[in-house]
């Protein structure tokens, strides 16, 4: 189902504006609206696939008696996957154990089978509800959402979330400008990050102070990273074109910098622990 997961990612990336808006679902009409206050930007037909419980379980929508009959009936086609795949979990009437990764695979298979045009999820306190979308209709221009898109894209990067979402937002909102000034974009500190006894291991790159982050493929062009920390981050096949990197700590940034793909400096010019001081690409 790996191909289906790639399809799922593509379906999410096709409509990143949905991530910026509140959702209003009517199970009787199967319509879902994406709005900012009273302003409805997008409308679609929605099939509730199922829900992933935060305790670590998946439950299909079709046998869930807490849902309205219309929502359950709309989801019945998911059962056909049992015969097509030979996998009995598609017929499971009760919640069953599933990690987030496993839940995404189930959603991906369902979206593929339903030939969904898009996909979205709705967060609640106890569960994440997944919908397959059809007949997606845009009702108003997205210009008013550019600032919100920029804030969301910045947080996606700051929290180390999907580069795919970052790039999708930038593609949908071409005028979006990333502002990440004075931010530490490394992963979470490891328990030994401030242990002076481990300093020699840090210096010789035998031990990392922070969890790794991979920004490979990220479109970071025309963004501001002044006074930010990108030390040790993996970055391959992406771009910093036109970005402002005044006093940005790029020490030990891996792969692309070492290969000189940014048009900044070669690795020998950079030095193992240097930073880009007052330098613009």
Structure tokens at 128: 């994440």
Q: With cut-offs at 50, 70 and 90, classify the pLDDT of residue 267.
A: very low
**Pair type for strands 57-60 and 96-97:** antiparallel
3-state SS class at 5: helix
Which residue would you say has higher pLDDT here, 237 or 191?
A: 237
Question: CB–CB of 191/211 below 8 Å?
Answer: no
Q: How many CB atoms lie within 10 A of CB 176?
A: 23
247's torsion region: left (phi>0), alpha (psi -120 to 50) or beta? left
pLDDT of 263 over the 50 cut:
no
Give the pLDDT confidence score for residue 188 in this predicted structure: 85
- pLDDT, tens digit (0-9, with 9 covering 90-100), for 134-190: 999 999 999 999 999 999 999 999 988 889 999 999 999 999 999 999 999 988 887
pTM: 0.81
Tell me the mean pLDDT in the region 15-25. Answer: 96
Looking at the chain, the whole-number percentage of residues with pLDDT higher than 70 is 84
Which residue would you say has higher pLDDT here, 263 or 85?
A: 85
d(CA 189, CA 186): 8
Structure tokens at 61: 């929508």
Query: Roughly what angle, to the nearest 10 degrees, separates helices 2-14 and 163-172?
Result: 40
d(CA 142, CA 171): 13
pLDDT of 1 over the 90 cut:
no
The per-residue pLDDT of the chain, averaged, comes to: 86
Give the pLDDT confidence score for residue 275 in this predicted structure: 34
- pLDDT, tens digit (0-9, with 9 covering 90-100), for 200-227: 665 656 667 778 789 999 999 999 999 9
Q: With cut-offs at 50, 70 and 90, classify the pLDDT of residue 29.
A: very high
pLDDT of 37 over the 90 cut:
yes
3-state SS class at 222: coil
Q: Which residues pair with 43 in a beta bridge?
A: 33, 137
Q: With cut-offs at 50, 70 and 90, classify the pLDDT of residue 103.
A: very high
Structure tokens at 28: 């009787």
For residue 186, CA distances in Å to 88, 107, 273 come to: 42, 31, 15
What is the torsional sign of CA 38, 161, 247, 268? negative
- DSSP assignment string, 106-160: HHHHHHHHHT-SEEEEEE-SSEEEEEEEEEEEE-S-SGGGHHHHHHHHHHHHHTT
Q: With cut-offs at 50, 70 and 90, classify the pLDDT of residue 27.
A: very high
d(CA 222, CA 236): 17
């Amino acid at each position: 189902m790996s191909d289906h997961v790639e399809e799922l990612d593509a379906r999410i990336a096709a409509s990143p504006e949905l991530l910026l808006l509140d959702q209003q679902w009517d199970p009787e009409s199967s319509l879902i609206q994406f709005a900012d206050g009273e302003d409805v930007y997008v409308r679609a037909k929605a099939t509730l696939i199922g829900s992933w419980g935060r305790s670590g379980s998946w439950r299909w929508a079709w046998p869930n008696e807490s849902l309205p009959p219309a929502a359950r009936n709309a989801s019945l086609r998911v059962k056909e996957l049992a015969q097509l795949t030979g996998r009995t979990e598609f017929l499971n009437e009760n919640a069953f154990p599933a990690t987030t990764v496993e839940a995404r695979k189930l959603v991906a298979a369902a979206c593929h089978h339903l030939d969904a045009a898009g996909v979205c999820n709705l967060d609640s306190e106890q569960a994440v509800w997944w919908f397959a979308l059809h007949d997606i209709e845009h009702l108003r221009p997205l210009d008013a959402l550019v600032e919100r898109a920029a804030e969301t894209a910045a947080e996606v990067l700051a929290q180390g979330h999907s580069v795919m979402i970052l790039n999708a937002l930038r593609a949908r909102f071409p005028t979006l400008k990333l502002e990440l000034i004075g931010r530490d974009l490394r992963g979470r500190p490891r328990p030994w990050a401030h242990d002076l006894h481990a300093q020699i291991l840090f210096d010789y790159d035998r031990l990392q102070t922070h969890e790794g982050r991979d920004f490979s493929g990220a479109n970071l062009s025309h963004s501001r990273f002044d006074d930010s920390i990108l030390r040790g981050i993996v970055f391959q096949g992406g771009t910093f074109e036109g970005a402002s990197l005044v006093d940005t700590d790029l020490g030990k940034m891996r792969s692309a910098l070492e290969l000189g793909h940014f048009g900044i400096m070669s690795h020998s010019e950079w030095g193992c622990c240097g930073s880009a001081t007052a330098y613009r690409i």
